[in-house]
Amino acid sequence: MRLPPNETSSNAAARAFLSARAGIALGTNLGDRLANLKRAREQISRLRMVHSPILASSIYETDPVDCEPEAPRFLNAVMEVTCESDAAELLQCLRQIEAAAGRPLRHERNASRTLDLDLLYCGDVNVATADLELPHPRMHLRRFVLEPLGEIRPDLILPNCRQNVAAL
């Protein structure tokens, strides 16, 4: 593959066109949490690059992990969609949805938020850039991701894991 100047293979992989199943984690612990998640699900479903089938987990209430003291509890869910675009474009759309929900573009890591959308995987794409790391490097350690993901994709084997989601 020939890359444009200043292009790395990781950047090219993030932009490679694909039609693949993409996993998205949704979380919120500020404002009307239920409305935040429902609105985000609808907005994701209406993205021009998202197509059926769309799988959506139940909504789970979870304790905050590595957040500021006294942080409110989170509502979390996971969606899996068919995505007909590159991972970088999908991530950009997810960030726009977060911004529309009131999340600042620049924010502290693990701070309370009106909406957090994490791209977990996008087909078998492996990417490591400043903006995007796929598959998500910590998803297998996060119960608030594994439980809802296990509901919709229990047989999914996560990268770098020997067990499926249900076994984790």
Contact residues for 46 (Cβ-Cβ < 8 A; gap 6+)? none
Average pLDDT rounded to a whole number, residues 43-68:
93
- Stated pTM of the model: 0.85
Percent of the chain past pLDDT 70, that is, above it, reads 85
Other CB atoms within a 10 A radius of the CB of residue 3 amount to 10
pLDDT for residue 19 is more than 90: no
Say how far apart CA 159 and CA 138 lie, in whole Å. Answer: 11
**Closest Cα partner for 21 from 144, 134, 101?**
134
Q: What is the mean pLDDT of the chain?
A: 85
**Domain segments of the chain as ranges:** 9-167
Say how far apart CA 12 and CA 82 lie, in whole Å. Answer: 20
CATH number of 9-167: 3.30.70.560
In contact, 62 and 143? CB cutoff 8 Å:
yes
Average pLDDT rounded to a whole number, residues 136-159:
90
pLDDT per residue as tens digits for the range 123-136: 888 888 888 888 88
HSE (side-chain half, CA atoms, 13 Å) at 85: 14
pLDDT per residue as tens digits for the range 74-129: 999 999 999 998 899 999 999 999 999 988 766 666 678 899 999 999 888 888 88
